[in-house]
């Protein structure tokens, strides 16, 4: 793939935050002194991570499907933009309207409160208009073929966001759409969530590189996205999961083969969390797996993030969760409500990370 030129609409000197000033501060501290344009270059995309994960080879526009489609410099500059746009919105300034006159189609075959509200509100705050297409509105692949929907929506809108069950659906959308497509979630990965997570880690720890992130639970789409990020940005990632619930082997193998990050897959959560900067959890049974919920509760015994596990992690560890959470199942109520929990700043950052992603793919 040829190099992609990326223009970030807001400037920011560097991702440097003293840990002491952010430990108990959920809001972003940077100041915006003015607006200038930064030219950023991304190199060729990383190798695909499964046979179904193909880098978009179209020219003329960009999609955001996998974090590993971009190099470290581009990912970090998108995060810089997210931080600056967040600071501008927090300041009360509503004059930055790069999406004015633009329309976004939001496809939801898999419903979500956070994804809908964060994308719709974020696009509106920057001047755009969004259209919600729920499961009954569109019936993608049933009432109408995905390739037809992609081309029809491309004629009406400037960007498509899709939250779908099957990863192939997002790949089909990107293949036939002539406008940018953003992956709002698939059964394989969840790149917007992990970009929001990375932004949250930078805000509270001061940096992403070199941190130790320990995920405890099912080796699901969240884990795959962490692995894809670890193939681009260097940090220590550990997935602690029960036997038989490990992440996709090929994704793990290829993430390790890049040599960028230290990556470990283990079945011992207590050993995994020692020295963690972040302990991360997710529901044990996602949407579409609820019939397995009782079985999974038995298998996942010992993988609950409770106060005792956070004590093993150490006093510097934060707790993160992509939500929704089943309190008392994968995490205790006490952990979510503890001072070290940054779950809700993390949830808010979905809006800001996604705004930056959309600015990037629209070339604004």
Cα pseudo-dihedral 216, 218, 224, 227, rounded to 10: 30
43, pLDDT greater than 80:
no
Q: 């920011």: which residue's tokens?
A: 12
pLDDT at 61: 55
For CATH 3.40.50.1370, the residue range(s) in the chain are 97-188, 191-346
Q: Is the pLDDT of residue 136 over 70?
A: yes
Topology given in CATH for the domain delimited by 191-346: Rossmann fold (3.40.50)
Known catalytic membership, residue 239: no
Strand intervals (E) in the chain: 4-8, 38-42, 103-108, 129-133, 159-163, 181-185, 212-216, 236-240, 262-266, 278-281, 318-321
The CATH number of 97-188 is: 3.40.50.1370
Mean pLDDT of the chain: 86
Catalytic annotation, pick one of 40, 192, 239, 322: 322
| Angle between the N-to-C axes of helices 221-230 and 249-257, in degrees from 0 to 180, rounded to the nearest 10 | 10
Say what the alpha-carbon torsion angle 320, 331, 111, 356 is, to the nearest 10 degrees: 0
Report CA dihedral (214, 216, 221, 223) to the nearest 10 degrees: 20
Which of 243, 324, 329, 240 minimizes the C-alpha distance to 278?
Answer: 240
Flag whether pLDDT at 208 surpasses 70. yes
Mean pLDDT is highest, among 19-33, 39-53, 80-94, for: 80-94
Give tens-digit pLDDT for 262-291: 999 999 999 999 999 999 999 998 766 667
Q: What is the pLDDT of residue 226?
A: 98
pLDDT at 245 over 90: yes
The answer on pLDDT for 109 being more than 50 is yes
* Confidence (pTM): 0.84
H/E stretch holding 20: helix 19-22
Render pLDDT for 283-314 as a digit per residue (tens, 0 to 9): 998 766 667 889 999 999 999 999 999 999 99
Q: In angstroms, rounded to a whole number, what is the distance separating the alpha carbons of residues 270 and 34?
A: 47
DSSP code for 232: T
Report the pLDDT value the prediction gives residue 308, as an integer from 0 to 100: 98
């Amino acid at each position: 793939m040829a190099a992609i030129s990326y223009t970030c609409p807001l400037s920011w000197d560097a991702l440097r935050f003293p840990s002491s000033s952010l430990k108990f501060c959920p809001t972003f501290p940077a100041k915006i002194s003015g607006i200038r344009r930064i030219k950023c270059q991304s190199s060729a995309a990383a190798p695909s991570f499964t046979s179904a994960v193909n880098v978009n080879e179209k020219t003329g526009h960009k999609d955001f499907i996998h974090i590993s489609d971009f190099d470290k410099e581009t990912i970090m500059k998108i995060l810089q933009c997210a931080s600056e746009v967040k600071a501008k919105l927090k300041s009360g300034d509503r004059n930055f309207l790069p999406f004015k006159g633009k329309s976004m189609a939001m496809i939801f075959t898999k419903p979500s409160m956070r994804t809908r509200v964060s994308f719709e509100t974020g696009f509106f705050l920057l001047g755009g208009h969004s259209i919600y297409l729920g499961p009954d509105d569109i019936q993608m692949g049933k009432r109408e073929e995905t390739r037809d929907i992609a081309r029809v929506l491309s004629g009406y809108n400037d960007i498509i966001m899709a939250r779908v069950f099957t990863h192939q659906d997002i790949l089909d959308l990107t293949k036939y759409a002539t406008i940018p497509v953003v992956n709002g979630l698939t059964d394989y990965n969840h790149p917007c969530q992990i970009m929001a997570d990375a932004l949250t880690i930078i805000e509270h720890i001061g940096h992403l590189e070199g941190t130790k992130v320990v995920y405890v639970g099912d080796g699901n789409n969240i884990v795959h996205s962490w692995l894809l990020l670890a193939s681009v940005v260097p940090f220590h990632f550990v997935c602690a999961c029960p036997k038989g619930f490990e992440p996709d082997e090929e994704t793990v193998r290829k993430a390790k083969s890049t040599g960028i990050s230290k990556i470990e897959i283990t079945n011992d959560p207590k050993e995994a969390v020692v020295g963690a900067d972040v302990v991360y959890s997710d529901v044990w049974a996602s949407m579409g797996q609820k019939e397995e919920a009782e079985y999974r509760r038995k298998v996942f015994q010992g993988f609950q993030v409770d106060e005792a596990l956070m004590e093993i992690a150490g006093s510097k560890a934060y707790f993160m969760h992509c939500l929704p959470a089943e309190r008392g199942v994968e995490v205790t109520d006490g952990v979510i409500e503890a001072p070290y929990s940054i779950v809700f700043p993390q949830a808010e950052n979905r809006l800001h990370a996604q705004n930056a992603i959309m600015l990037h793919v629209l070339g604004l």
